[in-house]
Structure 1
Amino acid sequence: MMVAGCGGQGGTQGASNQIIRFNVGAEPQTLDPAKATGIPDATIINAMFEGLTRYGADNKPGPGIAESWTISPDGKTYTFKLRDAKWSNGDPLTARDFVDGWLRALNPNTQSEYAYQLWYIKGAEEYNKGTGSAKDVAVRAVDDHTLQVVLKAPAPQFLGLTSFETLMPIDSKVVKEHPDWAASPANYIGDGPYKMVSWDHNQVIKCVKNPNYWDAANVKLAKLDFYLVDNNTTGYNMFKTGQIDFQYNVPVQEIPGLKNNPDFKIMPQAATYFYRFNVTKKPFNDPRVRRALALAIDRQAIVRDVARGGQLPAYALIPPGFKDADGKDFRQNGGNYFQEDVAGAKKLLAGAGYPDGRGFPDVSIMYNTNDQHKAIAEAIQAMWKKNLNINVQLHNEEWQTYLNDMQKLNYDIARAGWVPDYLDPMTFADMFVTNGGNNETGWSNKGYDTLITKAKTTDAGNPKARMADMHNAEKLLMDRMPIMPIYFYTQPVLIKPNLKGVIIPPFNVEAEFKWAYVQ
């Protein structure tokens, strides 16, 4: 959605002083496009990089560095024509920069968790897994302004993926000469609308308009500051006192009083809030325990009394907002896969060897530092105590440590959220394949893997069969319950009404600032 408003204060006006100050909510784990996984990271990267395509206000991928493209009749070969573009340091940007960026992400030594987003390309999965070579990956620079990609099978989501950070190009010369380039403002060379000038860790990343961006004439902001404040109340107070102009994560206790405030909006978001179970550890290696915990919480009470932002209770993984093969909503067609059932939960827990909670080991819920995550964890902790007579501890960590521990399976139960990378159910479904880069539960199921593989290959060109594969995969996932869905997101935001042209998409990034300006 394109945010528009009238009147109000915020931002800094004037042709040479157009500035927006946005609280992204956390110190990024990394700003390396090949390695980033978090939404704060992706939002910042998106301002300073551009892929072959870029999403606009219509939530469709439009021309980015590629000014046009053709797709072969069999849906497998994409040929992109690149415009004359430059890196922020003035170096020419060529098709080879995309080849280098994609191969770097696929290189096993890079350890990119999102490398699987490139596995649609012929030879990419084999190279990433160490059973093939880079030369067999079917992406090549035909010339400086032509990039050709051959997929293993038709993939309707591939075009949208070309705007995703993992598929961004790199300036190989800079990356080779400066190993710390992604952490150095001086060496952080991108090809997007803005460029970094300073990074005060845990405080603010300051950017300015990139004069070498191919579409600089249509970039109106002179400056864009990303504040890195992870305390919702602190950010809220900074907004009230005019220190920032835009922030997500509105303190839940403030929401009722903001309902008629022109600075407050609840935006749609096709995303899911859930808990991961570490299935490699007892007692979570038993699906009966996982399912018992999932059945023993009151989601309606959580969204009504804790989250308070119009969220919907989630009884499946994939949220509303994705079209099924028949044009209807994927979630509407799939329906719910479970309901709360305290009696059934007690029976499952007893069957797993913990009658009335007796003998249940000491475990903890890990969440990243955030007032709302804490409040939700406290509510679930109380529900599990009341309904199952088990004691669960709470453990919060700052963003980078939390991501690292989740990636290393150094947790019992972990708070998680998934915002789609592109507008297709596969962005949720392929997350939980065996050893998937973003699986982070230790769960593995051959039947699930087969369904996802079919949807990506055998049935990829048959929309009805492809969607049926994903419905069946989701049903299997909810039966085995390596994750516990809690609610489907909305996005409450505070934004000054005179910020124009800011796009708040329901997927991938928190905000798109290319077309933003201060009225």
Structure 2
Amino acid sequence: MRKGWFMGIRAWVAAFLTVLLLAAPATAQKVLHRGNGSEPETLDPHKSTGEPEGWIQYDLFEGLMTVDGAGNLIPGAAESYTVSPDGLTYTFKLRDTVWSDGTPVTAEDFAFSWRRLLDPKTGSRYAFFLWPVKNAEKANKGEVPLSEVGVAAPDPRTFVVTLEAPTSYFASALQHNATYAISKKSYEKHGEDFIKPGNLVSNGAFMLVEAVPQGYVRVRKNPRYWDAANVRLDEVVFHATENRDTELKRFRAGELHLTYDVPDPQIPWLKQNMPAELRIAPFFSTYYYAFNLTREPWKSNPDLRKALALAIDRTIITEKITLSGEVPAYQLVPDGTANYASPKPEWASWTQSQRDTEARRLVEAAGYGKGGKPLEVELFYNTSENHKKVAVAVASMWQQKLGVRTVMNNQEWKVFLQTRSRKQYRDIALGRWVGDYNDAYTFLGLFLSDLGPSNYSGYASPEYDRLVRAASSEVDAEKRRDLLQRAEAVLLADLPIIPVYIYTTQNMVSPRVKGWVPNIRNLHPSRFLDLN
């Protein structure tokens, strides 16, 4: 009797618990919504060039090296590597991992991908990242077959790289998305469509689920990722929002957990009213304008270029326009770069009044300005309210001080990149470079004369090329620094660009987001973030 009573109670309790479990809501998924600036140019790591693509690719792929949540270099797809005593051979030992479709990630995937990056048919603007590899530059220029590039896969988990000369920054550069591997098997099956949702396989912490043009890109946690147990987010949605005011409204409405940027005019209000959410930090990035040196009058008139550079009051721009602690720039490489201090032109120490006086003299000497020919320039930038405000301020300075009329021209991000890389802009184009690793070479290497589309000013100086190339293979740190400083001094004297300011980063971060660590590279892979 007692046994039957007990069994009845136990059955009732079990049924009651079952009802409770069925009625209870499922564990809520952690979905992080990130503002991501412009529409991604492409998710192909060997063809993309901008930050909006890079943030997504950091989640989808993992290079031989990667970064942690504070932007520090750590092992990625390679669990370790060794360097030969002469500094010429790097041997990477890959982790025992698989792609998101379950097929092994192999050394041959990396060899295939690096050859694809260098293949002239790919047209990558970042192929120069691998130029230190033996025969890589020649292969990229079509001078030798890709089979002669110094990469080898002696077994599935060993990737061997031979360099032309010792290159101190080489390992650091391998966290960049251009050097990522794609699945050779998937590419051979799908061709250039390998990047589409449903086709793309990845070796990163997340997998591609959905890509809506001018909308968003959705990625989902990759259960086959080698460190999946420590990935806290279930999904990440990257929202394309070029208008910063709209992005901020979406953040304040709770639609976004993170913003890509912040509208400059809103920063004083945000500092006062939302200080916990506003994150401002130094950034390894320079804002500048580039002259199109393939066209006149810029090609043969350095004094005219200098006049426009002198007339820009950088203090007004950083203190009245951008408002986020940016530092006026008279050099290309940001202060704080490891083992480096930029040379400054003589006029950097002048008062703005002195610069303006010299600018007027140079313009008139070139036959423009007061009593001379009228000068009209086109200022070209990608669509952005922040860029527009800076451009309007610069145009006003040129008009008031030099009598220069400025025509504004802006294009959507993808079109802007194509126009600029092909040097199809008329006069002056916006440039912004974010250092890909903490070394001066990541900035100075951009202006090598044979860099093609990536050198979008068309700057060509044999002396500059000689110094930068000598620095790239110099193993003595002091001698290398001297070579790079001398190269930057040549660049600043020639003025193919006008440095304007050194960036800070401005992001809105929801209190729900955990793991966001300010860092000079502003790298925040979703793998290290969480939501409470």
> Which TM bucket (shorter chain)?
over 0.9
Deviation (angstroms), 1:357: 7.6
**Does structure 1 residue 438 correspond to structure 2 residue 454?**
yes
Q: Distance in 1 between matches of 2:462 and 2:26?
A: 59
Deviation (angstroms), 1:270: 1.2
Q: Distance in 1 between matches of 2:211 and 2:497?
A: 36
Match of 1:257 among 255, 263, 269: 269
Q: Distance in 1 between matches of 2:26 and 2:312?
A: 52
Tell me the equivalent position of 2:92. Answer: 80
Q: Distance in 2 between matches of 1:481 and 1:248?
A: 31
**Does structure 1 residue 478 correspond to structure 2 residue 492?**
yes
Tell me the equivalent position of 2:428. Answer: 413
Contact 2:369 2:403 in 1 (8 A): no
Contact 2:38 2:241 in 1 (8 A): yes
**Per the alignment, in what secondary structure is the counterpart of residue 378 of structure 2?**
strand
Deviations 1:407-435 (A, max 9, x none): 11111211111000111000001100103
Deviations 1:122-144 (A, max 9, x none): 11111111111222211101200
Deviations 1:334-375 (A, max 9, x none): 345533501111111122221428424432111111111000
Contact 1:502 1:513 in 2 (8 A): no
Contact 2:364 2:370 in 1 (8 A): yes
**Does structure 1 residue 518 correspond to structure 2 residue 531?**
yes
Deviation (angstroms), 1:32: 0.8
Give 2:129's aligned amino acid.
Q
Deviations 1:162-213 (A, max 9, x none): 1111111111122222234355111122110111111111111111101111
Tell me the equivalent position of 1:221. Answer: 233
Q: Which has the larger radius of gyration?
A: 2
CA separation of 1:231/1:104 partners in 2, compared to 1, >3 Å: closer, same or farther? same
Q: Describe how 1:64-463 pairs up with structure 2 within 5 A.
A: 64-181=76-193, 183-260=195-272, 261=274, 262-285=276-299, 286-324=301-339, 330-331=341-342, 334-336=343-345, 338-339=347-348, 340=352, 341-356=355-370, 358-411=372-425, 412-436=427-451, 437-457=453-473, 460-463=474-477
Contact 1:78 1:148 in 2 (8 A): yes
Deviation (angstroms), 1:271: 0.7
| Residue range with higher mean Cα deviation, 345-354 or 52-61 | 52-61
| Residue range with higher mean Cα deviation, 83-92 or 293-302 | 83-92
Give 2:142's aligned amino acid.
G
Contact 2:344 2:489 in 1 (8 A): no
Deviation (angstroms), 1:19: 1.4
Give 1:498's aligned amino acid.
R
**Per the alignment, in what secondary structure is the counterpart of residue 21 of structure 1?**
strand
Match of 1:34 among 32, 46, 52: 46
**Does structure 1 residue 21 correspond to structure 2 residue 33?**
yes
**Per the alignment, in what secondary structure is the counterpart of residue 454 of structure 2?**
coil
**Does structure 1 residue 493 correspond to structure 2 residue 507?**
yes
Q: Distance in 2 between matches of 1:518 and 1:266?
A: 21
Q: Distance in 2 between matches of 1:38 and 1:503?
A: 22
Give 1:420's aligned amino acid.
G
Q: Distance in 2 between matches of 1:28 and 1:258?
A: 28
Deviation (angstroms), 1:495: 0.5
Deviation (angstroms), 1:248: 2.5
CA separation of 1:207/1:57 partners in 2, compared to 1, >3 Å: closer, same or farther? closer
Contact 1:268 1:506 in 2 (8 A): yes
**Does structure 1 residue 467 correspond to structure 2 residue 467?**
no
Contact 1:49 1:192 in 2 (8 A): yes
Counting matched residue pairs gives: 498
CA separation of 1:344/1:92 partners in 2, compared to 1, >3 Å: closer, same or farther? same
CA separation of 1:235/1:357 partners in 2, compared to 1, >3 Å: closer, same or farther? farther
Tell me the equivalent position of 1:5. Answer: none
Give 2:509's aligned amino acid.
I
Contact 1:367 1:395 in 2 (8 A): yes
TM-score by length of 2: 0.91
Contact 2:369 2:375 in 1 (8 A): no
CA separation of 1:364/1:170 partners in 2, compared to 1, >3 Å: closer, same or farther? same
Q: Distance in 2 between matches of 1:355 and 1:378?
A: 20
Give 2:471's aligned amino acid.
A
Deviation (angstroms), 1:320: 1.5
| Residue range with higher mean Cα deviation, 406-415 or 375-384 | 406-415
Q: Distance in 2 between matches of 1:296 and 1:33?
A: 39
Please list every run of 5 or more consecutive structure 1 residues that lacks an aligned counterpart in the other structure.
1-12
Q: Distance in 2 between matches of 1:66 and 1:480?
A: 42
Q: Distance in 2 between matches of 1:505 and 1:35?
A: 26
Deviations 1:21-47 (A, max 9, x none): 001101011111111111111111111
Contact 1:274 1:485 in 2 (8 A): yes
Deviation (angstroms), 1:57: 3.7
| Residue range with higher mean Cα deviation, 251-260 or 302-311 | 251-260
Please list every run of 5 or more consecutive structure 2 residues that lacks an aligned counterpart in the other structure.
1-24
Q: Distance in 2 between matches of 1:153 and 1:254?
A: 49
Q: Distance in 1 between matches of 2:366 and 2:331?
A: 23
Which has a greater percent of helix? 2
Q: Distance in 2 between matches of 1:184 and 1:358?
A: 56
Deviations 1:77-98 (A, max 9, x none): 1111111111112111100000
TM-score by length of 1: 0.93
Tell me the equivalent position of 1:44. Answer: 56
Q: Distance in 2 between matches of 1:320 and 1:182?
A: 41
Q: Distance in 1 between matches of 2:66 and 2:518?
A: 14
Contact 2:69 2:528 in 1 (8 A): no
Identical residues among aligned pairs (%): 36
